[in-house]
Structure 1
Amino acid sequence: MMPATEAAEGGDGNQRQGRAATTANGMDDCERRRRTMSLGDDTHGAQGEARRLPRRQDDAARDIEQDFDRLFQYMRSRYFRNGEQTGGEPANFIYAYRPEQELEVRRRIPVLVSRLQGMDPVDAQDAAPAVLVIDLYELAIRIMKDDDVFDEAVEQEPDMHGEEPYAPAAGDQAGAYSGEQAGEPYAWPELQNDDFYRALAGMLGPDNDELKEHLEDRYRQAAENHEADMVFLTGIGQVYPYIRAHALLNRVQDVFPEHTPVVLFFPGDYEKTATTVSVMRLFGRLDGDNYYRAFSLNTAIMEGVRA
């Protein structure tokens, strides 16, 4: 979600990393503070005194490292870069990852871009691809600023959610507050009753053309400078629920050329069912949204790379 009070710094990447670190790390205080065994690697000193990451985070980092190496090998292939063999469908792809891997994924995306743009051409007629990266969080803030509503949203946001959260006392009637039990936190209003959500969803949602127009502008400017052979979309978790992944992918089909590879980096699950309907679950927890026209990069990179 993208609370405007947290968005007040605009595109400040350090602040956004700090916010994500509190939610995406997925480890309790004991794990964070735990002293771990030495790597025994001379690059960390003769005594090998460097600490290892806690096992769960260390394993996740290795998984991401392997995935991003496979992504590079897959994306460098000419048939991927040319948007071929998609069965007539747009060259839209999803790379799904565990939400707790968010910071590691963010760190590796620029490295992947650099590797692709610096790759050796396959032959004399080939050239390394230029990658356009669009951060949806920064794009949403840009839309609000262009409409001169960003400062107003920051100022009014605290009063637009309805009642303040309330924790009933132990003796209060259970279920009196949004179905919560006594002593448990009171939930914010349902989204359809939240004025702040409705205001931003009206501005950024699929029924409004502003998001599409800004995407078109970004792509057109990059394409004119030959800087958009493929497109990476990031930050979808930060703009939920104002921008929904399945609605976004439906919109981009009218923005980017059919054979231009468009990759959505998705913190959650993307699964194919037996009926070929695809299900997207943001953060691996929220109710699934059906979307059947994007290809799973997770499946593709595990099946092997073709030149």
Structure 2
Amino acid sequence: MSNLKSRADKIIDKIKEDKFIEGRGLGNEISFYVFDYEPNEELYIRDYIIHIKKQFAYEGTNRRIIEFDLYKLLIELSKEKRIFERIFEMEERQGKDALFKALSNFVKPEVFIRRIKEKIEDHNVVFLTGIGKVYPFVRSHNVLNNLQEILENIPVIMFFPGRYDGQTLQLFGKFKDDNYYRAFRLVD
């Protein structure tokens, strides 16, 4: 936990850097970052994200952070489409595989991207959370790939319960997602 705490304590300073908010480096990189952590440290990270958002809200800086919890977005969207209650019935009647197939048709990255675009308003820093909670319906690399189109000038930090080595996302330290090499590790 002490390693996680020392890494997490660097997040605020990183966000305060002008280079962070200005984005794009010499290689024209996008400002997408991954903060990876061990899955058993999820509750600490959730609390720490609240701490970060409060600190920037109270400081009155020009950092306006918005958090998108992909799991909460999934629930919100399924309620809007009036399928939320039917999800439980389908799983009970037809099983997990049928539910997965049905939700996979509904839970496309574009649906999440559209919602993020609607809510971004004047925020200039995006936190993506709920990555582990929404698996396997939504894959993190798909969301990041699609976000590039609408958030090319806004820094994004994906809080990832697993490992990211600068190329490979490994959810929970077990499931290898497709390679995603355009994001940087936020802190080492």
- State whether TM-score is above 0.5: yes
Please list every run of 5 or more consecutive structure 2 residues that lacks an aligned counterpart in the other structure. Answer: none
Taking only the aligned residue pairs, the percentage that are identical comes to: 31
Is the aligned partner of 1:203 residue 2:131? no
Higher strand share: 2
- Kindly state the Cα deviation for residue 86 of structure 1 after the two structures are TM-superposed: 6.2
Aligned amino acid, residue 106 of structure 1 = R
| Cα distance change of structure 1 residues 116 and 86 upon mapping to structure 2, 3 Å threshold | farther
RMSD of the TM alignment (CA)? Answer: 1.7
- Kindly state the Cα deviation for residue 149 of structure 1 after the two structures are TM-superposed: 0.6
Is the aligned partner of 1:268 residue 2:171? no
Is the aligned partner of 1:160 residue 2:101? no
The aligned length equals 188
Answer yes or no: is the 8 Å Cα contact 2:68–2:129 preserved in 1: yes
Answer yes or no: is the 8 Å Cα contact 2:20–2:155 preserved in 1: yes
TM-score, normalised relative to structure 1: 0.58
The correspondence for 1:217, drawn from 104, 111, 118, is: 118
Answer yes or no: is the 8 Å Cα contact 1:91–1:259 preserved in 2: yes
* Aligned-partner SS, 1:298: coil
TM-score, normalised relative to structure 2: 0.93
Higher helix share: 2
Please list every run of 5 or more consecutive structure 1 residues that lacks an aligned counterpart in the other structure. Answer: 1-59, 121-126, 163-193, 273-277, 300-307
* 1:242 corresponds to: 137
- Kindly state the Cα deviation for residue 157 of structure 1 after the two structures are TM-superposed: 1.5
- CA distance in 2 between partners of 1:91 and 1:143 (Å): 27
- Kindly state the Cα deviation for residue 259 of structure 1 after the two structures are TM-superposed: 2.0
Is the aligned partner of 1:66 residue 2:6? yes
Which structure 2 residues correspond to residues 119-138 of structure 1 after superposition, within 5 A? Answer: 119=59, 127-138=61-72
- CA distance in 1 between partners of 2:71 and 2:150 (Å): 18
- CA distance in 1 between partners of 2:187 and 2:74 (Å): 27
The correspondence for 2:147, drawn from 252, 255, 258, is: 252
- Kindly state the Cα deviation for residue 152 of structure 1 after the two structures are TM-superposed: 1.0
- CA distance in 1 between partners of 2:85 and 2:179 (Å): 35
Answer yes or no: is the 8 Å Cα contact 2:90–2:98 preserved in 1: no
Which structure 2 residues correspond to residues 14-25 of structure 1 after superposition, within 5 A? Answer: none
